[in-house]
Structure 1
Amino acid sequence: MALLELRDIWKRFGVTQALSGAAFDLRAGEIHALVGANGAGKSTLSRIISGHIRPDSGDILLNGARLRHAGARDAIRAGITMVTQETSLAPDLSVLENIMLPRIAMPGRLDWRALRRQAQALIGEIGQSEVLRPDMKVSELSIGQRQLVEILKALALDSRIIIFDEPTAALSPHEAEQLFGLMRSLATRGHGLIFVSHRLEEIFAVTDRVTVLREGRIVASGLATETLQQGELVRLMVGRELQDIYNRGGRSRRRTDGAVVLRVNHLSCPPMVRDVSFEVRAGEVLGLAGLVGAGRSETIETIFGLRQPVSGTIELDGKPFRARSPRDAIRAGIGLIPEDRRGQAIVPDFSVRENLLLAHLGARSAVTLGYGTRGAAVRALLERLELPERRLLDANMLNFSGGMQQKVILARGLVLAPRLLLLDEPTRGVDIGTRSSIYAMLRRIADEGVACVVVSSDFEEVIGVSDRIAVLSDGASVAELPAELIDIEKLGMFAAPRSSAEKTHTVLAELVARYGGTAYWMAAEGGRLFCFDRVGDDPSADPGFVTGGFPEIAATAIAHAVGAPAGALHRAADGARPTLLVPISGKRGHSLGIVGLTFGRAPADFDAAAVTQYILAALGERRDAPNETRIEA
């Protein structure tokens, strides 16, 4: 018997038929994906299950018994909870109070000491004890941290059925992996989990079965995830094949000849932005990569005038620029697509047209609205983004799906024909079809000469859509490199917070203090080295690269050691630059890079085998015998 079953569910909103005879079943102990394009009906079906809305007709069965809940409170009592994509937290309350908010509405006295202990245990389960404290005020949290609190609020109820609606949209890859581990643990304990996500790699990584919705109808029900291919799932979702999602086809080689539109030098806006430098040229897409908390969003908000810098310089078209307000930025030809749709971009009481033309009003000094002057531009943008013009008359943006909302916000940023467009998580919470159209639009406007800066927590996306990538970590620039030279693993190593990379840095410093020379953490692939960290400044032991560098191996001073057996000291043909390279790997055997040590002249007492074991003991989870491993280029 299914834990939860829905039969013949119908739901209409005005003239829109959201669900047409939908059916769904969930088993105890499984993670069941609910997927589909934006507007397919996933959120509507989820909200019906969680009691937020009532179906027009159809049956809901819980453990075989018919269930009729009048609202979300009844659903919670029945053991059903939903984690929403747009957080529903009370910003003036603490993390603890928000986690336990559903308990407040229930009868009986509250034991806050016990609730605090439970909250701390839950925070520990998702690996956030060091950065998320029960007494923190929710209004002071980042959007990613607020999403974690939303998840914790659902977990605190220990419901038999938990619906996760785009739970990772605002999370870093590390945070998402911790959440997946927790979800697997819940399923093992007999909970039934419904997982709504537009990220196909997550669906294949964590779910057991998949149900696909398209235009309110079920087109595939309860398919075993392990039997599916990604292309097949995309066809089911959007009704057609999507080739070249990042729109690379036919695109000219990466543009480096355009004039520099934006140059940022040593920008500081504490506490999140400490020392950021990069430049972007006309016709170029620059990705700002990093983990949540790296200062990416705060950097572009500073450029746009939402925050004021304390030091550093910003140049626009070669001239000093400082936006004291967003209006200054808009009038200077800068557009911003913000990260938080609900909190930063949408005015719920405005119509779709009024929301789309907000930037137009910001740039206009006349008394009248002047909407007619933008009519042709708006129609052209709507056609590009495949948005029906009649929807401009909708009275409320919140009636749109997340993907359609994002298209309207993107059109708002483009309607003034900016020279520089700043996009903060432009595809967060939208389906693969909408993402494909946004990528195509981004490439088209870049080809027209617009300079684009894209912030994304999705490393695959930032690599796929960018020409170059500037990597930020803990509020500072750490590397800037062409996108075609980097992959997800190396980007993650560059982006690692300095706090988590401190262990590696300490080992490098200890090696140099004990033996001299130069120590470094790097990766070698495709004929290049990628240096994540380096300690030591002895010119005679210079390996030929610096932190953040990505030279060709042949151009470095350690080419003789790459490809040689690891864990032994290797010298060049002339006896110079004796070098030890030690590969380190994680607990699942995945590569964590290479630790190297290069000398001008090796100390007489240097024991390569002992140093190798020291490095592996300090940094590696798996001890490969040195003579079994080679460093491949």
Structure 2
Amino acid sequence: MALLELRDIWKRFGVTQALSGAAFDLRAGEIHALVGANGAGKSTLSRIISGHIRPDSGEILLNGTRLRHTGARDAIRAGITMVTQETSLAPDLSVLENIMLPRIAMPGRLDWRALRRQAQALIGEIGQSEVLRPDMPVSELSIGQRQLVEILKALALDSRIIIFDEPTAALSPHEAEQLFGLMRSLATRGHGLIFVSHRLEEIFAVTDRVTVLREGRIVASGLATETLQQGELVRLMVGRELQDIYDRGGRSRWRTDGAVILRVSHLSCPPMVRDVSFEVRAGEVLGLAGLVGAGRSETIETIFGLRQPVSGTIELDGKPFRARSPRDAVRAGIGLIPEDRRGQAIVPDFSVRENLLLAHLGARSAVTLGYGMRGAAVRALLERLELPERRLLDANMLNFSGGMQQKVILARGLVLAPRLLLLDEPTRGVDIGTRSSIYAMLRRIADEGVACVVVSSDFEEVIGVSDRIAVLSDGASVAELPAELIDIEKLGMFAAPRSSAEKTHTVLGELVARYGGTAYWMAAEGGRLFCFDRVGDDPSADPGFVTGGFPEIAATAIAHAVGAPAGALHRAADGARPTLLVPISGKRGHSLGIVGLTFGQAPADFDAAAVTQHILAALGERRDAPNETRIEV
């Protein structure tokens, strides 16, 4: 018997038929994916299951018994909880109070000591004990941390059925991996989980079965995930084949000919932005990469006038620029697509047209609305983004799917034809088809000469859409690289928080203090070196690259050691630059880069084998025969 079964569910919102005879079943102990393009009906079906809305017709069976809940509270009592993509937290309450908020509405006395212990245990279960404290006000949390509290709120109820609606949209890769482990643990304990996600790699990584919706109808029901291919799933979702969504159509990734539109130098806006520098040219897409908390969003908010810098400079078209408010930025030709759709971009009580033309009103000084003067531009943008013009008259933006909302916000940023466009997580929570159209739009506006800065937590996305990538870590610039030379693994090493890389940095410092020379952490691939960290300033031991550098191997002073057996001291043909290189691997055998030590002249007592074992013991897996290992290039 199915734990949960839906039969012939119909739902209409005004003129929009959201669901047409949808059917779905969930088994105990499984993670069942609910997928489809934006507007397919996934969220509507999820909200019906969780009691947020009622279907027009159809029935819901729980353990074979017909379920008649009249609201979310009834669903919670029946053991059904939903983790929403848009958080519904009370910002003035603490983390503990928000986690236990559903309990407050339940009968009986509240034992806050016991609730605190339970909350602390749940926080520890998702690996956030060091950053999420029960007494912290939710208003002080980042978007990703708020999403974690939303998840904890559902877990605190210990519901038999939990619906996760885009739970990883605001999470870092590490946080998402911890969540997946928790989900698998819940399924093992007999819970039934419904997982709604637009990230196909997540679907294949964590789910057991897949049900696909398209335009309110079920087109594939309960398919075993292991039997599916990604192309097949995309075809079921969007009704057609999709080629490479990052396809550049022959467009070069090297845009050195355009004028510099924006130059940021040593920008500081505490506490999140400490020392950020980069530049972007006309016709170029620059990616700002980093993990959650790196200061990426705060950097572009400072440029746009939402935050005020304390030091550093910003130049726009070669002239000093400082936006004291977003209006200054809009009037200077800067557009912003913000990260938080609900909190920063949408006015729910405004119509779609009013939401789309908000930037127009901000740039206008006249007392009249002047919507007519933007009519042609609006129609052209709607056509580009495949948005029906009739939907402009819709009275409420919340009737749109997340992807449709994102398209309206993107159109708003483009309606004034900006010279510089700042995009913060532009594809968060949208399906692969919508992502493809957004990427195509981004390439088109760059080709028209607009300078674009894209913030994304998805390393695959930031590499795919960008010409160059500026990497931030702990509020500071650490590297600036051509996108075509980098991959996800190396980008992750550059972006590692300084606290995470501190152990490696400490080992490098210890090596230099004990033996002299220059120590570094790097990777070697495709004929290039990528330097993540370096300690030591002895000119005679200079390896030929600096932190953040990516030179060709042949142009460095250690080319003679790269590709040679690891764990031994190698000298150049003239006897110069003796170098030891030690490849580091994690517990699962994946590469963590190479630790190197180069000398002008090696100490007489230097024991390469012993130093190799010391490095492996401190940073990687110990090897008994390091001399048998060669560094792959």
TM-score (norm 1): 0.99
- Kept in 2, the 8 Å contact 1:470–1:479? The answer is yes
Q: Post-superposition shift, 1:621?
A: 4.0
Distance (whole Å) between structure 2 residues aligned to residue 245 and residue 625 of structure 1: 45
Distance (whole Å) between structure 1 residues aligned to residue 128 and residue 249 of structure 2: 41
Partner of 1:485: 485
- Kept in 2, the 8 Å contact 1:289–1:455? The answer is yes
Q: Post-superposition shift, 1:79?
A: 1.1
Q: Post-superposition shift, 1:627?
A: 2.7
Decide which moves more: 60-69 or 224-233. 60-69
- Kept in 2, the 8 Å contact 1:247–1:436? The answer is no
Q: Post-superposition shift, 1:253?
A: 4.3
Q: Post-superposition shift, 1:247?
A: 3.1
Q: Post-superposition shift, 1:602?
A: 1.3
Distance (whole Å) between structure 2 residues aligned to residue 622 and residue 201 of structure 1: 32
Distance (whole Å) between structure 1 residues aligned to residue 68 and residue 570 of structure 2: 73
Partner of 1:525: 525
Per-residue CA deviation, residues 44-67 of structure 1 (Å, 9 max, x unaligned), is 111111111111111211112211
Q: Post-superposition shift, 1:244?
A: 2.0
Q: Post-superposition shift, 1:75?
A: 1.0
- Kept in 2, the 8 Å contact 1:589–1:622? The answer is no
Partner of 2:147: 147
Decide which moves more: 108-117 or 387-396. 108-117
Per-residue CA deviation, residues 215-271 of structure 1 (Å, 9 max, x unaligned), is 001111111111111111100000001112013123234211100000000000000
Per-residue CA deviation, residues 595-615 of structure 1 (Å, 9 max, x unaligned), is 111111111221112111111
Distance 1:62 1:299, change over 3 A: same
Q: Post-superposition shift, 1:509?
A: 0.8
**SS of residue matched to 1:21:** strand
- Kept in 2, the 8 Å contact 1:247–1:443? The answer is no
Q: Post-superposition shift, 1:104?
A: 0.8
- Kept in 1, the 8 Å contact 2:253–2:484? The answer is no
Distance (whole Å) between structure 2 residues aligned to residue 387 and residue 85 of structure 1: 23
Per-residue CA deviation, residues 148-201 of structure 1 (Å, 9 max, x unaligned), is 110111111111111110001011111111111111111111111111000011
Structure 2 residues without counterparts, runs of 5 or longer = none
Partner of 2:448: 448
- Kept in 2, the 8 Å contact 1:585–1:622? The answer is no
Q: Post-superposition shift, 1:570?
A: 1.3
Q: Post-superposition shift, 1:566?
A: 1.2
Per-residue CA deviation, residues 62-111 of structure 1 (Å, 9 max, x unaligned), is 11221111111111111111100000000000011101111111111111
Distance (whole Å) between structure 2 residues aligned to residue 250 and residue 553 of structure 1: 28
Distance (whole Å) between structure 2 residues aligned to residue 514 and residue 474 of structure 1: 29
Partner of 1:291: 291
**SS of residue matched to 2:595:** strand
Distance (whole Å) between structure 2 residues aligned to residue 630 and residue 188 of structure 1: 42
Q: Post-superposition shift, 1:553?
A: 0.7
- Kept in 1, the 8 Å contact 2:34–2:212? The answer is yes
1:235-274 matched pairs, under 5 angstroms: 235-274=235-274
- Kept in 2, the 8 Å contact 1:211–1:223? The answer is yes
Per-residue CA deviation, residues 377-403 of structure 1 (Å, 9 max, x unaligned), is 000000000001110000000000000
Q: Post-superposition shift, 1:136?
A: 0.8
Partner of 2:93: 93
Partner of 1:433: 433
Decide which moves more: 232-241 or 572-581. 572-581
Partner of 1:542: 542
Q: Which stretches of structure 1, 4 residues or longer, exceed 4 Å deviation after superposition?
A: none
Cα RMSD between the aligned structures?
1.0
Decide which moves more: 262-271 or 607-616. 607-616
- Kept in 1, the 8 Å contact 2:613–2:622? The answer is no
Decide which moves more: 605-614 or 330-339. 605-614
Per-residue CA deviation, residues 427-473 of structure 1 (Å, 9 max, x unaligned), is 00000000000000000000000000000000000000000000000
Aligned length: 633
- Kept in 1, the 8 Å contact 2:211–2:218? The answer is yes
Decide which moves more: 123-132 or 79-88. 123-132
Distance (whole Å) between structure 1 residues aligned to residue 521 and residue 627 of structure 2: 20
- Kept in 2, the 8 Å contact 1:283–1:452? The answer is yes
TM-score (norm 2): 0.99
- Kept in 2, the 8 Å contact 1:586–1:622? The answer is no
Q: Post-superposition shift, 1:277?
A: 0.1
Distance 1:625 1:18, change over 3 A: farther
**SS of residue matched to 1:89:** coil
Distance (whole Å) between structure 1 residues aligned to residue 2 and residue 82 of structure 2: 19
- Kept in 1, the 8 Å contact 2:255–2:467? The answer is yes
Distance (whole Å) between structure 2 residues aligned to residue 569 and residue 181 of structure 1: 42
- Kept in 2, the 8 Å contact 1:268–1:310? The answer is yes
Q: Post-superposition shift, 1:628?
A: 3.2
1:55-204 matched pairs, under 5 angstroms: 55-204=55-204
Per-residue CA deviation, residues 103-157 of structure 1 (Å, 9 max, x unaligned), is 1111111111111111111111111111111111101111111001101111111
Q: Post-superposition shift, 1:622?
A: 5.7
Distance (whole Å) between structure 2 residues aligned to residue 61 and residue 605 of structure 1: 76
Structure 1 residues without counterparts, runs of 5 or longer = none
